[in-house]
Structure 1
Amino acid sequence: MSLRTYFIITGFPGLPPEYYGLVSVPFLLIFLAIVVGNAFILAIISYEQSLHKPTYLIIFQLAMTDITFGIVTVPKIIARYWWDDMKSSFGACFTQMYFVHSLGAINSSILMIMALDRFVAIKLPFRYPVLITNKTVCIAGSLCCAVTFIRMLGLVLHALTLPYCNLNIIAQCYCDHISITQLGCGENVVYVKYVALVNSMLSLLGPLVVIILSYFFIIIAALKTPHTVSRHKVLSTCAPQIFITCLYYVPRCFVYLANNLGFSFRTDTRIIITVIYSLIPCAVNPLIYCLKTKDIKEVLMRRFSRKVRISN
């Protein structure tokens, strides 16, 4: 039985109260960008028949994950600085941890599906309509969600076996596994952390290997293409996906490598890096879809031109 009934989420520890309003504004803007931007992407893909294709269904799944992650994490951060609401019940904190890690792993899997989609489209163009269909994309996305939610449930239940009798202060903007298990006590803490580390490596590095190999072969194929126009088309098609993948993975890999190489960050620096790699991609992705994805850009231009003609 846990000796703690709630946790205290500090956000940025040591921040003077007079800066609370200043800090809350960027979080509010990020939240609005996540919700409005991804809701817009969901709406345009849902209502535009020409976008009912495998590639855009993958983008739809990614937008769903991003908007859910924003709703799960950011309101609590804003509440901490607007109403000084620092308390999170034991159950609420573990629930948030469950969704934070589940959605992160699902996001990683969807990026892998996106890379495989481009790989098949470029390396096996004649087989693409058979191998990659709306049905297969939906099944793949559903399986990733189901497997991840079941796997992360085990991770949370494992963390629940620890007694939490130390300090209940979480130096982070939301509840995550590392922050919570650091407060655990007993002889099983090290084992619980080790299992979580293996789980996170599987969630991140497994898909990352597939993603790197897929884009590597795509770039090689593009460079071997004799026609400049075809080469440019291949690279421009993959550029948004590669950029989105880099936004998601590069900061995470930097943090993991730094920790393993013995570099330590100040608490505030670590929290800022965590916020950057967890929230910024969710806010920026819709802008990338609209500006860098040809079909979505054409749909938006077509609708805008139609409204201009009607208004004139």
Structure 2
Amino acid sequence: MLANFTGMRSFLILGFPGLSPKYYGPVSAMLFFFYLAIAIGNCFILTFVVNERSLQKPTYLVFCHLALNDLTFGTLTLPKIISKYWFGESNISFYGCFTQMFFVHYLGSVTSFILSVMALDRFIAICIPLRYPALITNNIISVLCGFAWFIPLPLMVAVVLHALTLPFCKSNVIAQCYCDHISITNQACGENVQIVQVTTFCLAMFCLLLPLAFILFSYIYIIVVILKMSNAAGRKRTLSTCTPQIFITCLFYLPRCFVYVANTIGFSFSLDMRILLVLLYSLIPAAVNPIIYCFKTQYIKQTLLKKMKTHRIGIEIQLAFI
């Protein structure tokens, strides 16, 4: 039976419990501009790549999938916490909270698999470059990214349905800025709570650590290949082609690993600090990734500068005839 036994109809998003009401306005404004950065940056990448035929190549198609994922994640998580501090709207419906939880964990898992596709693209491009045109095409990348979107889907559906079997008899307060599995199941009671939490943890580790193992193998092998190159200019040029992917991967994994390791060794955070860390490692990559695409990817930067230069020249010609 996929229903709780308490009649709980809604949850209350706590946000930052130690935040003084006088800071609600500035915090909501900061989160709003943060969301604008995510929306504008990722929409720009999607529009720019779709409309620029020279950028419709495998590497940049992966960037588009990641940008779509980041845009969706920001849209599904930030508006609710913004409305809490801006309008005092803290309530979220029972099933609305579970829906948000599904997308939070689903999109995080998709990101992990897309990053492994990104690593595969660079692995083949650098380690077996002669086979790259045959092995990595737009169609193959689209299929691989399709698998990245599909593989976590049944797993996260199972996670949600499993959590829905729990009775909820504790507080309806979600000690987080959005609904996630830990925050929701902490409000459940009964002997099955730990089983649900452990099962979900194992699935989460599968979705995070399996791609991470492949990513680490790929980039370590890539670095070894680059170091073996005799030409210094060639080493620098080759390394520059994979630095954006390495930056993006580090932004996603390193903060998560830090929090997991800190919890494992017994280093405790205050509730406000833990919520802030989760919010930062969830949302900073979504805001920063478009900047990395533009300024760390040479071809995108050159194409963007060329477009801006052409546009400026066009404006100057129009002004000259006025």
**TM-score interval (norm. to shorter):** over 0.9
- Work out whether 1:100 is the aligned partner of 2:96: no
- Work out whether 1:236 is the aligned partner of 2:240: yes
Rounded Cα–Cα distance in structure 1 between residues aligned with 2:55 and 2:275: 38
Equivalent residue number for residue 88 of structure 1: 92
Partner letter of residue 54 of structure 1? Answer: P
TM-score of the aligned structures, taking structure 2 as reference length:
0.96
Rounded Cα–Cα distance in structure 1 between residues aligned with 2:108 and 2:102: 10
**SS in structure 2 at match of 1:112:** helix
Deviation at 1:259, TM superposition (A): 1.1
- Of the three residues 297, 306, 310, the one matched with 1:306 is 310
Partner letter of residue 207 of structure 2? Answer: S
- Work out whether 1:131 is the aligned partner of 2:132: no
Matches for 1:291-302 after TM superposition, within 5 Å = 291-302=295-306
- Of the three residues 188, 199, 208, the one matched with 1:204 is 208
**SS in structure 1 at match of 2:129:** coil
Figure out how many residues of one structure are paired with residues of the other and give that number: 312
Rounded Cα–Cα distance in structure 2 between residues aligned with 1:234 and 1:86: 49
- Work out whether 1:214 is the aligned partner of 2:218: yes
- Of the three residues 246, 259, 262, the one matched with 2:263 is 259
Deviation at 1:16, TM superposition (A): 1.8
Aligned-residue sequence identity (percent) comes to: 51
Partner letter of residue 278 of structure 1? Answer: S
Equivalent residue number for residue 224 of structure 1: 228
Gaps of 5+ in 1: none
- Of the three residues 43, 46, 69, the one matched with 1:39 is 43
Equivalent residue number for residue 168 of structure 1: 172
Deviation at 1:170, TM superposition (A): 0.7
Rounded Cα–Cα distance in structure 2 between residues aligned with 1:225 and 1:117: 20
- Of the three residues 56, 69, 74, the one matched with 1:70 is 74
Rounded Cα–Cα distance in structure 2 between residues aligned with 1:23 and 1:291: 29
Rounded Cα–Cα distance in structure 1 between residues aligned with 2:125 and 2:150: 26
**SS in structure 2 at match of 1:174:** coil
Rounded Cα–Cα distance in structure 2 between residues aligned with 1:264 and 1:158: 29
- Of the three residues 151, 154, 157, the one matched with 1:147 is 151
- Work out whether 1:190 is the aligned partner of 2:209: no
Deviation at 1:207, TM superposition (A): 0.7
**SS in structure 1 at match of 2:92:** strand
Deviation at 1:14, TM superposition (A): 2.9
String of CA shifts for 1:37-59, please: whole Å, max 9, x gaps.
00000000000000110000000
Equivalent residue number for residue 119 of structure 1: 123
Moved over 2 A (4+): none
**SS in structure 1 at match of 2:170:** coil
Rounded Cα–Cα distance in structure 1 between residues aligned with 2:153 and 2:94: 20
TM-score of the aligned structures, taking structure 1 as reference length:
0.99
Rounded Cα–Cα distance in structure 1 between residues aligned with 2:121 and 2:264: 33
Equivalent residue number for residue 60 of structure 2: 56
**SS in structure 1 at match of 2:167:** coil
Deviation at 1:147, TM superposition (A): 1.9
Rounded Cα–Cα distance in structure 1 between residues aligned with 2:137 and 2:114: 15
Equivalent residue number for residue 245 of structure 1: 249
